[in-house]
Amino acid sequence: MHLIPAIDIIDGKCVRLEQGSYDLKTEYHSDPVEVARKFEDAGLSRLHLVDLDGAKASKVINWPVLKKITTATNLIIDFGGGIKRKEDLDVVFDNGAVQATVGSIAAEKPELFHDWLDHFGVDRIILGADLKEGRVATRGWMETSGYSWQEFLALHLKEGVKTVVCTDVSKDGMLQGPSLDLYKDILHEFPGIQLVASGGVSSMKDLELLRSIGCYAAIIGKAIYENRISLKELQAFNHVG
């Protein structure tokens, strides 16, 4: 199972929210590049970079942070937040992201999302499934679509989507453990997908459980910044499997 640390950006700084609320923000570091370097130095190879300003504004804003990190490190970066137009994807990829995570457009304009899959390739586009009480949330989790997760995933997997980042918004930033039952249900319903668990990871035990149920990867955010999980522990987990 791949381990993917997260850096969430507001005003160019490294922050975390609780349950997606911009009113419940904690700033952890003023220099995301330094944080990214620490991840790379610990042997981690991937990074989930989220433009929270962009998610709120419906356009990519923090691409300069992406460019600085891709210039300073060799991390494999997937970038999400504010991707609403093809031009946003061009900016993201031109500034070094290997993949882009797209959620809102996949819910609001599925045909456009499928056009992007065809244009950029299914290996470069990750489907973001952010869930509130089983429904797909959009626009920085401020709105909820009519899609259930079953409908949403079925719609896009038939178009070739390979990788899905699934976040239970109620768990995000709460350090209460991931939504194991939800992920089990998803993997049972769609056994061929590469499922990336996001939200709620609070301990190494959580990571072991996610690996045991067959998750392709896990995103870790607040647990690192709150020193619940050390980079040395993540490095050791990587070596084990």
Distances (CA, A) of 212 to 45, 110, 184, 232: 21, 32, 10, 21
Of 9, 13, 20, residue with least CA distance to 138: 20
Annotated catalytic, 8?
yes
Listed residue (43, 88, 44) closest to 66, CA to CA: 88
Q: Cα–chain-centroid distance for residue 104?
A: 13
Given 88, 130, 168, 172, the catalytic residue? 130
The Cα 237–Cα 234 span in angstroms is 5
Residue of 8, 53, 88, 206 with catalytic role: 8
CA distance 18 to 173: 5
Residues carrying an active site annotation = 8, 130
